[in-house]
Structure 1
Amino acid sequence: MNSVDVSDLPVEDGVREVLRKRGIVTLNPVQSEAIEKGLLEGKRLLLTSPTGSGKTLIAELGIISHLRRGGARAIYVTPLRALTSEKYNTFKDWELLNFKVGITSGDYDTDDAFLSRYDIVVTTYEKLDSLWRHGPKWLKEADYFVLDEFHYLNDGKRGPVVESVAVRAKRRNLLALSATISNSRDIASWLNAEPVTTNWRPVPLKEGILVADKRIAVTYSDGTSVQLKGTDGILAYTRKVVGEGGQVLVFRNSRKMAETTAWKIAELEFNLKKKEIEELASRLEEVEDAGSSEKSDLIELLRKGVAFHHAGLSKGLRDVIEDGFRRRLIKVITATPTLAAGVNLPARAVVVGDIYRFNRKILGYQEEISVMEYKQMSGRAGRPGFDSEGEAVIVVRNKRDAERVAKKYILSPPEPLESKLGNESAFYSFLLGLASEDATEESVRSMTNEVFLDKEIVKTYVENGILWLRENGFFGEGVKLTKFGRKVADLYINPFTAKTIKDVLSMSGPENCDIPYLHMLALTPDGPLASIGKAEEEDLLDSSPCATFMEVPDEEEEAYQYFSALKIALVVHDWIEEVEEDAILSKYGLGSGDLRSIVETMDWLTYSGYQVSLALDWESHAEIMLKLNKRVSDGVKEELLDLVRVPGVGRKRGRLLYENGLRKPEDLIMDPGKVKSLLGDKIGERIVKEAARIIGGVL
């Protein structure tokens, strides 16, 4: 493949200027091939190439050329919020050409009318799927879609949403981007696109198997090998790479293993920039959305040039760690595989410490990771501009496994992409989404024929799904949404979640205790999950301040889900009772990121429960749910709800003000001196102004 000089591109000078500002003077072979295949002329493409091969720039050029040809609006879709923010910041460069760039994610019960002002919108698959249900005019005008990380079609959780978005997007101009797809021709045919496939990487990848037996050795796929000194394979390999000036990402199959490995690696001696490390540690200490024990652990590790990274950490902590690694201050990150998908964080070497993981649905069962997951992790090896070669090694415990593991993960292509719409929960939600677009039964049936799922299976799910949605009050005549069905579609909750709320509340009177409501919501398909041990179950029942709406099931898996939901309910109960965050994290064995995720999800579900209750005309339940939603959002007792309406007054400041006699926004305006004495002059003055603003007062 040839590279193309930017000066030779058939684009206007403004485009070349943006590229030159980034230091791009030539396009790499992947980008050049996309242009050769018609990217700038609007050709529909499915482009698959390894991580780090410049696919984002391909999307940018495709979007800008489309808009320059008179296109109305372009939508760039990613599977993760972290990626959405990252891509948004990249696309902002194009405002130099007067293209306005907007971003949206979360908050599903809205049509985001403000986005009509933007030419390029960056969003997530879930958010876009929810927006289609609201049918805003600005979205109907969108005529170019970039579907990033399209291999998420194979993801059990996000796959159905990716497919749902693709069914609509493939009716417009489309560019799909992905890591290697073994059945790219089938996928491209389904998308009505041309497949463009390349294995080119900016930094060549060397893959091998690390055997951590009596003797530690790495055997590479090219036949070379290296012996390492030591008794621990991961430590020995990490010492070698860092000693040569590289950085290492170590992937482990659980948070506990990631943290344990980080502490072991911290015992190694690395050459560090002490001053910059201390500055990084100070930034981490100032992170507000984190527990104190997390911060103290990470600061101690940072001073050794090491950090762990997983979803249990808050965004603030993860941001500091990622920045430290990009600046090459942190030498080693130990992480769970979620890091491989969510962040652009390359390293000289990647260590896949485990090819097994626990299956949460089958208790005690371990399964091997997929080849695609390995490709995602190994794809992080090699830092453009720093490394002439990246390395990825898989750790095995003995030589017997080495050949099999190498054949499966290194020498084989990833699994073919398959539809994940083949279950009632996913498919019925898809049907509800289609019907929400003021569709007829005929058009809904027609759209279902455009999914990637086998057509015979589709036929069964369509018939059963329409019948189920009608019997459970979502559809009236044909596929016309009832008041209840419309509300559920707008809220973007699973119809089985709505059915649970409807069934449980129809048989229950209003409760003064919040636990039954929180437990019911956590037990729905949309509810957050919590890990529990067998010994915890009795403690959870004993510590609950009141009974739940439902009895403990006899079946083991259902009982596990029951207690997982009860744990979530108790976590949120403590949160809204203003229990200190550190105490909650310690009591339930959570990370600050877990708590944020639980609160965010339960905020959405309590709001949804309130709206569903209103749609069903259950005013008493609706009133309880609304109050609960407000408390979950801010983490406060009911008495603080009026005070925390003031921006800047959270649960801690609110409690301090309340205990000192300042109990309403009006009180803050009447006694600004007292507010400043409690919160400090700068913060106090700002909060007094905010209080005046929200009640229409004048200072």
Structure 2
Amino acid sequence: MTLAQESVMAWLRDAGLEPRELQQKAIDAGLLEGTNMMISSPTGSGKTLIGEMAALRAVSNGQKAIFMVPLRSLALQVGKTIKERYASRGLNVEISTSDFETSGSTLESCDVLVATYERTDSLLRHKAAWLSDIGTVVVDEIQNISDSMRGGRLEGTLMRLRKAFSDVQFVILSATVGQPNILADWLDCKLVQSNHRPVPLVTRVLKTSEPEKTVRDLVMNSIQKSGQVVVFNRTRREAVAAAQRLGPHVQRQLRHSEKESLANEVSSLENWSASLPRDLVSLIHSGLAYHHAGLDFESRHLVERLFKRGILKAISATTTLASGMNLPARTVVLTSIASPADYKEILSANEIHQMLGRAGRPGYDKEGFGIIITRSEGERQTALDAYFHRIQDPENDEHERMPRFNPVRSSLSTNLAEQVLVAIDFLGGAAVSDLENTFFAQSYLVHNHVRNPKSPVRPLVLSELTAQAAIEKHAMSETVHAAMQGVLASTEIREESEQTLGGLIQPRSGGGYTCRFSIRPQKSGVMEGPMCSCGRPISDEGILCPHLVALGITASKLAQSKADFIIPLALGETSPVATLSKLGLIEAGSDNRLKLTALGSVVCKLYLRIPTVRELLALLPTVETSQEMLDLLGHIIMLESGRNLGESASRVAAELILTSDTCETISARNDIDVGDVRLVLEMLDWVLISISTIAEISNLKTVGNGIHRMLNELHSNRYEGEKNVNKQ
């Protein structure tokens, strides 16, 4: 054993810990020798401790470690655990989840930094000097790289971390996913896999015409046998309603001593800081609670703590909080497979199994139960096909269902303009060819593309988009080649206007189809896009039908100027470089190398999304009144948070700035969850500073002065205890 290895094992012994099967497997694979490693295993198998061990190895070598997590709640949870576990060793652990506009100089003295993905990204953009002392980077829940809103930023962060610190050990933690070897290969990590669960899991997909009764029966059956239950619901409203329906039934199961414990907990001095809604207080007295992002952090933490102690018997939560909850229960019930964002879409297999995987409490349960509720035979079959493989047992010809997992896909293309901006800053300037062929060639997007035979011709295009380039981003190479050779179909362009290109496509195999690329708006305001009479113009993977490919390639030859304008827009494709240039964020030097403008440099460090910047640059010059400024402020907060708060956003922002009323008072007055009020409060300082900075650099003095007044009022009316945010 090396000195560092002996040191880590001593740290574990002092904390009363001994490596279990998965941790020992990682050690044997070289974890404590600095080997890059990806751990893929079920929920509750001990991945977090592996991350801790890697961090301790860095500290033992006189270096620092960063532990990246997806959510603030997880950062606080992981940071608290590490602090308490190794307190006797004097380990300096810091937690940082916000302050995107600062370089985090106060973090320089820490040994281990537990930070959200976004805060780590922000520190990299600010080029914090102390980052050169990093010896280990731990990335938890790496499957979030597929997330459409956050995944692109995570992918960009990992690309820059690997390029900037080639000697750093990367330890990647993942729930069980499909084809983890592809992700491990991209990260140059040794893959350590395990399907072992501390508690065996039994999964069922139930069809019922009475879902509420079925959920109640499942919950009560578990509680009556001394089990705990988590019920996942699609929306906040459904989570609250389910808890209220279950309350009287759960309460009847409570012993007198349990009722007293609950009453003491709710009224104790320890919980005064949690401003619990009245209906939640009543439910807690009944032995259960709801849990969603509309609650403030203290209330969610209280609910989690009472559940972990066994005082609460059940929690009714939203599916959106599944990744942030470390709440094992004997039974997990999923009331809907519909996506929270769109009820017409279903949750991914990885999301489903992450929730079901929380069933089974180590040390308490012999087995866990994960139940999916469906309302028809068709929905049940959809769930079975989407989430399970049907495997035949060769010994008895019976079939069993095994979990199906989705491969982790890149979502870089949804955030490409921002990542191009950050890459140019990181590289100190770059030519488009260097960005495409060198920097982004190392992306997970391109890595996936090379290994996926069903990938389109081009994974990304950074410069000006032609019709052909846009088609190549959405078509297989053989289809494009056949279309260019004229052997795919006979194509006649019959419609050509400022907004549409259409035609008749007659495949060589026979038949005829009418196709169109259109940027004409529908009544809903949504652009028509690509259309084809085949009924399947574009697949779920974004691949065009061969008829549209034939039309697009022909149009690019016969109506090039219109095709180059209409087809990329119809496919939702824009050139990242052109977008950044039009916004004034980048410029080309005499050597054709792109570099950031003064505005681009500011935007990069402020950590704003490109759509936000576009809105600010367009709307700031039109702002004349305080109300217009507040409306813009609410709009920007919704853009950056991804939450649709409607008109409440600007009203809440105004009251937080202009009054000293509590978040609870503002919540009640505006009929909005207190968690949403606190979200606005947590974002206000950063958003106001960002708007002020952009107004100043755009020479909008009147707007800038108005923002400064709002900042001063915010600071005078709000005190640090109200913010209740652990900022570093």
- Give yes or no for TM over 0.5: yes
Quick check: 1:449–1:458 contact (8 Å CA) kept in 2? no
> Structure 2 counterpart of 1:117, which letter?
S
The equivalent position to 2:303 in structure 1, one of 306, 318, 321, is 321
Displacement of 1:288 in angstroms is: 4.5
Q: CA deviation at 1:196?
A: 1.5
Give the direction of change, closer, same or farther, for the CA distance of 1:647–1:413 in structure 2 (3 Å limit).
closer
Question: Amino acid of the residue matched to residue 246 of structure 2?
Answer: I
How far the C-alpha of 1:11 sits from its partner, in A, is 6.5
Q: How far has the Cα of 1:580 moved from its partner?
A: 6.4
Amino acid at match of 1:573: A
- Give the secondary structure class of the aligned counterpart of 2:709: helix
Aligned letter for 2:213? D
Q: Kindly state the Cα deviation for residue 199 of structure 1 after the two structures are TM-superposed.
A: 0.7
Equivalent residue number for residue 211 of structure 1: 207
The partner residue of 1:382 within 356, 360, 374 is 360
Aligned runs of 1:20-39 on 2, under 5 Å?
A: 20-25=13-18, 27-39=19-31
Contact 1:522 1:602 in 2 (8 A): no
SS of the aligned residue for 1:436 comes to: helix
> Structure 1 residues 430, 71: closer, same or farther in 2, change over 3 A?
farther
1:140 Cα deviation after fit: 2.9
Aligned in 2, Cα 1:596/1:164: closer, same or farther, shift over 3 Å?
same
Task: Render the CA deviation track for 1:666-697: whole Å, top value 9, x for unaligned.
Answer: xxxxxxxxxxxxxxxxxxxxxxxxxxxxxxxx
How far off is 1:32 after superposition? 1.7
- Structure 2 vs 1, CA of residues 437 and 140 (structure 1 numbering), >3 Å: closer, same or farther? farther
Secondary structure (helix, strand or coil) at the match of 1:196 reads: strand
Give the structure 2 partner of residue 202 of structure 1.
Answer: 198
Matching of residue 354 in structure 1 with residue 350 in structure 2:
no
- Matches of 2:90 and 2:278, distance apart in 1: 46
* Cα distance between partner residues in 1 of 2:157 and 2:675: 28
* Deviations 1:368-412, CA, capped at 9 Å, x for gaps: 111111111111111111112111111122455444423432434
Find the counterpart in structure 2 of residue 572 from structure 1: 653
The 3 A distance-change label for structure 1 pair 300 and 9 is farther
Q: Distance in 1 between matches of 2:288 and 2:462?
A: 50
Alpha carbons of structure 1 residues 127 and 358: separation in structure 2 relative to 1, 3 Å: closer
SS of 1:380's equivalent? Answer: coil
Q: SS where residue 264 of structure 1 aligns? A: helix
Displacement after TM superposition at 1:582 (Å): 4.8
Distance 2:682 2:623 in 1: 27
Cα distance in 1 for residues equivalent to 2:89 and 2:215: 49
After superposition, give the CA deviation of every residue in 1:131-174 in whole Å (9 maximum; x if it has no partner): 11111111133232111110101111221121112212334321
- Displacement of 1:336 in angstroms is 0.2
Q: 2:687 aligns with which of 577, 600, 605?
A: 605
Q: Structure 2 length normalisation: TM-score?
A: 0.74
Aligned amino acid, residue 290 of structure 2: F
**Where in structure 2 are the equivalents of 1:151-550 lying within 5 Å?**
151-171=143-163, 172-213=168-209, 232-268=213-249, 269-272=252-255, 273-283=258-268, 287-288=272-273, 290=275, 295-359=277-341, 365-399=343-377, 401-410=379-388, 411-423=402-414, 426-437=415-426, 439-442=428-431, 444-445=435-436, 446-454=438-446, 457=458, 459-461=460-462, 464-476=575-587, 477=589, 478-506=593-621, 508=622, 510-511=624-625, 513-519=626-632, 522-523=635-636, 526-528=639-641, 531=644
Whole-Å Cα distance in 2 between the matches of residues 19 and 248 of structure 1? 32
Tell whether the 8 Å contact from 1:353 to 1:395 is kept in structure 2 after alignment.
yes
| 1:469–1:458 distance in 2 versus 1, CA, 3 Å | farther
Compute the displacement of 1:622 (Å). Answer: 0.8
Distance apart, 1:514 and its partner CA: 3.1
* CA distance 1:34–1:14, change in 2 (3 Å): closer
> Alignment partner of 2:594: what SS?
coil
Output the amino acid matched with 1:131.
L
**Cα distance 1:284–1:254, how it changes in 2: closer, same or farther (>3 A)?**
farther
CA contact 1:311–1:594 (8 Å) conserved in 2: yes
Percent identity over the alignment?
A: 28
**How far is the alpha carbon of 1:503 from its aligned partner?**
2.1
Give secondary structure in 2 for the equivalent of 1:266.
helix
Residues 114, 599 of structure 1: alpha-carbon distance in 2 compared, 3 angstrom cutoff: closer
Moved more, 467-476 or 341-350: 467-476
Give the letter for the 1:382 counterpart: G
Report the CA distance shift for 1:274/1:467 in structure 2 as closer, same or farther (over 3 A): same
In structure 2, how many angstroms separate the alpha carbons of the residues matched to 1:143 and 1:444? 27
Deviations 1:99-139 (A, max 9, x none): 43222120011111222212221111101111111111111
**What TM-score, normalized to structure 1?**
0.77
Structure 1 range deviating more: 11-20 or 617-626: 11-20
Which whole-Å CA distance do the structure 1 matches of 2:382 and 2:720 have between them? 58
C-alpha distance after superposition, 1:346-365 (max 9, x if no partner): 111100111113535xxxx5
- Going from structure 1 to structure 2, the CA distance change for 1:99 and 1:72 (only over 3 Å counts) comes to same
Query: Cα offset for 1:583?
Result: 5.4
Distance 1:9 1:404, change over 3 A: farther
Shift, 1:457, TM fit: 4.4
The answer to whether the 8 Å contact 1:522/1:528 transfers is no
Within 2, Cα distance between the matches of 1:159 and 1:21? 37
8 Å CA contact 1:277–1:303 kept in 2: the answer is yes
The SS at the match of 1:366 is: coil
Aligned length: 574
Please give the per-residue CA displacement for 1:569-609, whole angstroms capped at 9, x wherever unaligned: 12322433436655543454311101111222233222210
Letter in 2 for 1:505: L
Structure 1 unmatched ranges of 5 or more: 1-7, 217-230, 533-563, 635-640, 652-699
Q: 1:462 to 1:135 in 2, by over 3 A?
A: farther
In the other structure, the counterpart of 1:549 is none
CA apart distance, 1:319:
1.4
- Aligned counterpart for 1:84 among listed residues 72, 75, 80: 75
The alpha carbon displacement at 1:436 in A equals: 2.5
State whether residues 448 and 458 of structure 1, in contact with CA within 8 Å, keep that contact through their aligned partners in structure 2.
no
SS of the equivalent of 2:639 reads coil
